[in-house]
Structure 1
């Protein structure tokens, strides 16, 4: 699939990549399209089961654990991941149809917006979990009360608002458009390459660099605090949050790295060469799949890392009639 050099658009199937970056996109390879459809279907199934399982386990948890600060953030993280995996069937159909969007303009805006919002909301909630974990331990050592559930609810409300605001450019400029005879759900900016570069830079900074920087500072302080005080219980809880953050970093870093490469090419700060073409044609679609996989990894990691959830899962698998709380 190709695009006219004068068209400044972003493909949904390539995680909002500019279509005029390449001469032949991933849809030129039937095997790659089949692989992407398979991964989307797998992530959708695993994400639905995993995130619904998190809801169930939190519902069955003891009241004091159910309303704990960390579990409240996990509940919201599972909600945004669940909303996202519901968009994957649309992307799978779009990919199967050679990236031809059959669902109309309204669904294009909705599905594309939810997809982008998931990225922002996920990293914002993971950042809040990291900061909250550090503040909780610091407050415990100082024998002061940490912020209660009311402040957690306000924090979650602010995160959802910030994620919505960050997604506004996607909601406004997403549209169904014909590009070289293909009907695509994409982002189309009236300002050309400059606006597209700004959009990508904003996405990388707000959705990755700034949150990861905050998380890094929080965890540096947290690790020092745990090692200094030998807090074994806190260390176990912190480990689960750490792995969640690392999973987000590993899943999303390749996608943002290739996107940054695209921005540098647009700004003539990097050369257009064979390596760039191969990366965007064959590697970039796989980085999109890896990024999407994060939405099914979060609940799986959290459930497997928390002892009380592992206990509950064991009861469900071996004694389905048992309703004891964890």
Structure 2
């Protein structure tokens, strides 16, 4: 049984490249479960915090914030499924949760993958419309459209995860005495090849090309704006930096997995010698998959450290809760006095008094 098959990752083979008695197998049983539990716990806490801030803040969310909250939701859902695989590894790859959860857990991973990359693509397009096509496409940047787009992205992710739903199944391996959750391409390797090509093209190449196009035009437009009018909008720059940071993190985390998927494709079409590359693909596939999952845990940290408006929302929620706690300790009479004072001071307008002596 290939360890790549057993891990429940996105890319799988039907071969038997690694022995259960190998060093890699032992390291997997020792290192991966604690790692998965750690990133799952931290990621769920971080993404819950991000979603809570977006929900608790009373101001209407901007288009970019709607997409960022959608990304946080996708990460949260993915991290909910990872503990199943940690328990599966601790159980030495014997899948005890049944065929239905075998399909659901792995489909959730695929749905998250597609939803995340296409959400990043939509964020990049929104930045392009805001900074390059400011007036012409202003009507496209409506919050209603952003919400509809998020729903469509989830539907798209669900449709693109169909190969996983069909081919994921629980299968008994008599030689190892375990019942494992694997991708079983029982209709031939052409299904596996089609699945991998779909992931490379639809899940990486196409959205990355759109992101590169949008980013290039944004950088060009900001440069021209600075040169022509000598004005540099710091708010636009900070918002764009956050988008770039989130996108770069996604590429760094998911890029290696896409590279190993492409190498596996080359082996399937006999461009590369599978015998020579099998061990590299096993080890690289294992490392790249769990590096990819780390992306869902690190995303919220970017919102906190790079997102100026996100930090303002957190501060506003903190101040509001602090004032509410203080208000609950006041008597009714005290609250009435404070309210009257605030209302009166808001109505006072500054008046400039002309003093003739000061002009002499």
TM-score above 0.5, yes or no: yes
Question: What residue is the counterpart of 1:155 in the other structure?
Answer: 149
Question: What residue is the counterpart of 1:239 in the other structure?
Answer: 241
Question: What residue is the counterpart of 1:47 in the other structure?
Answer: 43
**Which deviates more from structure 2 when the two are superposed, residues 33-42 or residues 71-80?**
33-42
Take 1:46 and 1:16, find their aligned partners in 2: how far apart are those partners? 25
Take 1:267 and 1:48, find their aligned partners in 2: how far apart are those partners? 40
Question: Does the alignment pair 1:38 with 2:40?
Answer: no
Question: What residue is the counterpart of 2:216 in the other structure?
Answer: 220
Look up the SS of the partner of 1:86 in the other structure.
helix
CA separation of 1:161 and 1:323: change in aligned 2, threshold 3 A: farther
Cα deviations by residue, 1:269-307 (Å, 9 ceiling, x for unpaired): 101344x23323333211111000111112221222112
Count residues in correspondence: 316
Cα deviations by residue, 1:166-200 (Å, 9 ceiling, x for unpaired): 01111122110123433111222232112111111
Question: Does the alignment pair 1:110 with 2:104?
Answer: yes
For 1:128-147, list aligned pairs within 5 A. Answer: 128-140=122-134, 144-147=138-141
For 1:51-62, list aligned pairs within 5 A. Answer: 51-62=47-58
For 1:143-222, list aligned pairs within 5 A. Answer: 144-179=138-173, 180=175, 181-222=177-218
Q: CA deviation at 1:29?
A: 2.7
Question: What residue is the counterpart of 2:278 in the other structure?
Answer: 277
Take 2:108 and 2:246, find their aligned partners in 1: how far apart are those partners? 21
Question: What residue is the counterpart of 1:262 in the other structure?
Answer: 264
Take 1:232 and 1:155, find their aligned partners in 2: how far apart are those partners? 28
**Which deviates more from structure 2 when the two are superposed, residues 176-185 or residues 255-264?**
176-185
Take 1:139 and 1:248, find their aligned partners in 2: how far apart are those partners? 26
For 1:72-111, list aligned pairs within 5 A. Answer: 72-111=66-105
RCO higher in 1 or 2 (8 Å CA, sep ≥ 6)? 1
CA separation of 1:178 and 1:144: change in aligned 2, threshold 3 A: closer
CA separation of 1:103 and 1:16: change in aligned 2, threshold 3 A: farther
Matching residue within 12, 17, 28 for 2:12: 17
Residues 17 and 279 of structure 2 are in contact (CA less than 8 Å); yes or no, is this contact kept in structure 1? no
**Which deviates more from structure 2 when the two are superposed, residues 181-190 or residues 168-177?**
181-190
CA separation of 1:209 and 1:250: change in aligned 2, threshold 3 A: same
When normalised by structure 2's length, the TM-score is: 0.80
Q: CA deviation at 1:263?
A: 1.5
Question: What residue is the counterpart of 1:6 in the other structure?
Answer: none
CA separation of 1:283 and 1:136: change in aligned 2, threshold 3 A: same
Residues 315 and 322 of structure 1 are in contact (CA less than 8 Å); yes or no, is this contact kept in structure 2? no
Residues 108 and 185 of structure 1 are in contact (CA less than 8 Å); yes or no, is this contact kept in structure 2? yes
Take 1:323 and 1:287, find their aligned partners in 2: how far apart are those partners? 47
Question: Does the alignment pair 1:310 with 2:306?
Answer: no
Structure 2 unaligned segments of length 5 or more: list them: 226-231, 326-360
Take 1:31 and 1:12, find their aligned partners in 2: how far apart are those partners? 13
CA separation of 1:2 and 1:170: change in aligned 2, threshold 3 A: closer
Look up the SS of the partner of 1:215 in the other structure.
helix
Cα deviations by residue, 1:211-244 (Å, 9 ceiling, x for unpaired): 1111111100111112222332111101001011
Q: CA deviation at 1:28?
A: 4.9
CA separation of 1:270 and 1:308: change in aligned 2, threshold 3 A: same
Q: CA deviation at 1:34?
A: 2.0
Look up the SS of the partner of 2:220 in the other structure.
helix
Residues 24 and 281 of structure 1 are in contact (CA less than 8 Å); yes or no, is this contact kept in structure 2? no
Residues 121 and 211 of structure 2 are in contact (CA less than 8 Å); yes or no, is this contact kept in structure 1? yes
